[in-house]
Structure 1
Amino acid sequence: MLANFYTSHYHTPLGYLNLTATDTHLVSCLFSDIAYPATPEQPAVLEQTIAQLREYFAGTRRHFELPLQPKGTEFQQKVWMQLRAIPFGKTCSYMDVARIVSGEKAIRAVGAANGKNPLCLIVPCHRVIGSDGSLTGYAGGLWRKEWLLQHEGIRQPARQLTFF
């Protein structure tokens, strides 16, 4: 039996998060500059997702508690599971994730899996940074990654120099 798919979107300070779900699970959550049309029917999981996103952006939610069903390879699933273990307000490096998931030689594969994460923000791929502390890549754009890390208190905004 084929699953029904439903769509919705949530407007954030960073643009839209376009959401896709089945009757029972969130399948994707991706940043975009445009909102995709919402289906007339909205399963409870989409309503829960939007409520939790509101709380996150209001600063009252630190962890998402949603039934997830991202599509990916076994290796990608392992990486995404590890990303969910990174707590709010903390970061880890791609090398840290590689060592846990499969060993140091898997660092590029971890980077690729991180970039294919279909549940950005919910599965916090924005919390993975370079070993030297650099932001490196982010599918939603580095400016969004920086904003999210500032929102979580991990990075401080750049200070503007004053001359007077």
Structure 2
Amino acid sequence: MKLINKLIVVILLIGLTSCHKDDIPNYDLSTFSILVKESSGFVDFHYNATIDQDGKLNIQEEYGVFNQYRESEYQIPSEDVLLIKEKLSDLILINLSDKYGFHENAPTDEPTTKMKYVTINKSDSTYWYHPTENEFPNEMKQFMQVVSETISKVDTLKN
């Protein structure tokens, strides 16, 4: 009888220790950086926006044709930083394509955009040029909408 009880205990322990949760990655977003870069060789234009986890927004903008350049630094409101972080936590769960758009019949005079994020344990980036309406994953659309709206709201000097 003691042997049966011990056997039952061993089987239960094995069963309990072998059960595991689905392997959902746990990404650390305590430190992150987001880069959005628009550029156009057609008019020698470059716009770089970098956002970090503390809400610091650094801008570098250059119009080579007009010989204009500016660097600006802003502080993003904390509620906007939280929203960006929330959308980043969704985006980080998917793998981005290397590029979106770049279709044969696309116009040739629009800017190219690069987006890159870096966290403690994951980074990813992508480029796009005139993508079709449904080409972006939903997580990417929502993330870029929040980031773009935040930049537009904070960087009032953007042309």
TM-score range, shorter chain: under 0.3
TM-score by length of 1: 0.26
Structure with greater strand share of residues: 2
Q: Which entry has the higher C-alpha Rg, 1 or 2? A: 2
Give the number of the structure whose residues are more often helix, by fraction: 1
Larger relative contact order, structure 1 or 2 (CA cutoff 8 Å, min sep 6): 2
